[in-house]
Amino acid sequence: MNVAVNATPGGGLASRRYSLFASGWLRPDGTSWGRPTGLARLPDGSLLLGDNRANCVYRIWYRPPSPPPRPPR
């Protein structure tokens, strides 16, 4: 199973484009080691993802890449 977020510019209806941000619960042999079951958004923008097979909650956040250093003057 893959978990995806629909990209919606302007907050309108979900488009058919998506960005995969979490995957890997399904092994190559078809068995799973986890089962995502719930998703909640926190005020800081991070997500809580419940997993009822591993009996845990994952916190997912985005850290943008650092800008490149400025060249010396």
pTM for this model (two decimals):
0.59
Give the pLDDT confidence score for residue 16 in this predicted structure: 56
User: Into how many domains does the chain fold?
Assistant: 1
Could you tell me the two tokens for 34? 């986890």
d(CA 22, CA 43): 20
Answer yes or no: is 71 within a domain: no
Position 16 in a domain = yes
Confidence at residue 17, expressed as pLDDT on a 0 to 100 scale: 59
Calculate mean pLDDT across residues 46-66. Answer: 90
Residue 73 within any structural domain of the chain: no
Q: Report yes or no on 7 lying in a domain.
A: yes
Query: Do the domain assignments include residue 14?
Result: yes
For residue range 12-50, list pLDDT tens digits in order. Answer: 555 555 667 777 888 899 898 888 888 899 999 899 999
Q: What is the domain extent for residue 18?
A: 3-60
In DSSP notation, 15-44 reads -S-EEEEE---B-TTS-BS--EEEEEE-TT
54 vs 40: CA distance, rounded Å: 18
